[in-house]
Structure 1
Amino acid sequence: MSKDLRINDEIRAREVRLVGEEGEQLGIMSGRDALRIALEKSLDLVEIAPTAKPPVCKLMDYGKFKYEQAKKDKEARKKHKVTEIKEVKLRPNIEDHDFETKARNAQRFLNDGDKVKVTIMFRGREITHPDLGRKLCLRLAEFVKVEANIEREPKLEGRNMIMILTPVKHD
């Protein structure tokens, strides 16, 4: 439902279709009569379908309705997982233990549902051996093959080689 619902005196329609607080149809009547019924029951008259002919209005406690909507929106935001891109930086001549540590970090990121950007940084004349960087990328991809798919193959960009891994969806 839209945020800017018209309530009570803001409803300008001559005739409205009135719906009770439990969802029962109360029929088509003048806007004034509908507002009178709402006031008698200590409720608000809320226009829920302004484009209908005649507009549909419902009897409800508007404050309570807004509170419930806010609660639902907050719950929906809580469940919504934002995938981030985490980065693992490596050097072409990395030691085995350091590589395993970085690979375990990548594994953890993937298990958390995040994408992993693997960056191989070349310094000086290391750039003349891009095959070393490619092998390192593929070795890391092999290490995390259960958790990840390669979204983007290793590619040289300037002095860095970049590969992107995405988490595998487990059912």
Structure 2
Amino acid sequence: MLRVIDDDGSLGNMSTTDAIKLAMERGLDLIEISPNATPPVAKITDYGRFQYTTQKKDRDARAKAHVTETKNVQVKIGTSERDLELKAKKASEWLRESHRVKLDLFLPGRTKYMEPKFLEERLSRILNLISEDYKVAEEPKKSPKGLTIVIERGAKRKEVSEGKVKKAEVTAPEVETK
């Protein structure tokens, strides 16, 4: 038994042989649309036209699909203001193209143990230079290489005042002294 449909609507349930005979009478093809349904669904239509419409839907879906990448911007504590402006400009371009931007404050060696408030101020310096509207996708967090925040295109600009990046668990590990 099959549930048979055509371009006008449902024709009801009928046996496979009856559905094939009906399709042949109309000069069309019987195409199985949904084999896993109970009962399976078959459509009486022209196979060439069916193939064309499914390919067209696939092409349209691929054209509308936009792949978003996560782009990286890496800055150090001592990065000059001009270099920060250039990196912020590039980050703004990526946000305009609807990419996510991952900002890494790279902390080599002993700089990992600096005051967390100071590190947040350095991160907020570049965030304030970004001209495009953005929202914070992932809050600032400690990573093996330093401090990381992920931003993406947003409806309205999130103002970040000096050192007021949302608090995350950004604490320097305690060092034992003898």
* TM-score higher than 0.5: yes
Residue equivalent to 2:73: 88
Distance 1:154 1:57, change over 3 A: closer
| Structure 2 residue identity aligned to 1:149 | K
How far off is 1:35 after superposition? 1.7
Judge which range, 118-127 or 93-102, deviates more. 118-127
1:73 shift after superposition: 1.8
| Backbone CA RMSD of aligned residues | 2.7
Structure 2 equivalent of residue 163 of structure 1: 149
The offset of 1:168, in angstroms, is 0.3
Between 1:37-46 and 1:92-101, the stretch displaced more is 37-46
Aligned position for 1:136: 122
Q: Percent identity?
A: 31
Size of the aligned set, in residue pairs, is 154
**Partner amino acid, structure 2, of 1:150:** V
Unaligned runs of 5+ in 2: 157-178
Does the C-alpha gap of structure 1 residues 167 and 29 become closer, same or farther in structure 2, counting only changes over 3 Å?
Answer: closer
**Alignment map for 1:88-167 (pairs within 5 Å):** 88-130=73-115, 131-144=117-130, 146-167=132-153
* The 10-residue stretch of structure 1 (126-135 or 94-103) with the greater mean CA deviation from structure 2: 126-135
Is the 2:4–2:14 contact (alpha carbons within 8 Å) kept by the matching residues of 1? yes
Query: Aligned equivalents of 1:30 and 1:155: distance in 2?
Result: 63
Name the SS for the 2:151 alignment partner.
strand
Structure 1, unaligned runs of 5 or more: 1-12
Give the Cα separation in 1 of the matches to 2:48 and 2:147: 56
Structure 1 position 104, deviation (Å): 0.4
- Native 8 Å contact 2:95 2:132 kept in 1: no
The AA in structure 2 aligned to 1:162 is T
Q: C-alpha distance in 1, partners of 2:14/2:142?
A: 71
Q: Label 1:100 to 1:23 Cα distance change in 2 as closer, same or farther (>3 A).
A: same
Q: Which moved more, 1:35-44 or 1:68-77?
A: 35-44
State how far apart, in whole Å, the 2-side matches of 1:153 and 1:94 are: 22
Could you tell which deviates more after superposition, 126-135 or 84-93? 126-135
Contact 1:92 1:132 in 2 (8 A): no
Query: In the alignment, residue 148 of structure 1 is paired with which amino acid?
Result: Y
SS at match of 2:27: coil
Q: How far does residue 118 in structure 1 lie from its aligned partner after superposition?
A: 0.5
What is the one-letter code of the residue matched to 2:25?
A: E
